[in-house]
Amino acid sequence: QVRLVESGGGLVQSGGSLRLSCAASGFSFSSYGMSWYRQAPGKERELVARMSRGGGTEYIDSVKGRFTISRDNTKNTVYLQMNSLKPEDTAVYYCRRNYPPYWGQGTQVTVSS
């Protein structure tokens, strides 16, 4: 069955870094685009970054220059490197297979002031 398992979240101070990982199984990973979303308390879930199966990437303006999405098809894993973290980055981060969509369970990222 399809599985997406996020890891790497935690508590960091403003300006710190985290790398999130999403381990995929149950489908042909290299054939799908992948995305990272996040949902902050009281906010709607929003797209953060996406990567096509061909390697193209897109980011929302608020994370450009700070976050990097990447994938390792030999490990069936997509990553989100997050640098220069800000308190407003605090959210649950979700991994998603793009089409057809499939969601992971999420991992909490908390950035203190």
User: What pLDDT is stored for residue 70 in this prediction?
Assistant: 97
User: What pLDDT is stored for residue 63 in this prediction?
Assistant: 98
CA distance 50 to 96: 9
Q: Which of 17, 15, 18, 16 shows the shortest CA–CA distance to 7?
A: 18
Number of H helices, E strands in the chain: 0, 11
pLDDT tens for each residue of the chain, 113 residues long? 999 999 999 999 999 999 999 999 999 999 999 999 999 999 999 999 999 999 999 999 999 999 999 999 999 999 999 999 999 999 999 999 999 999 999 999 999 99
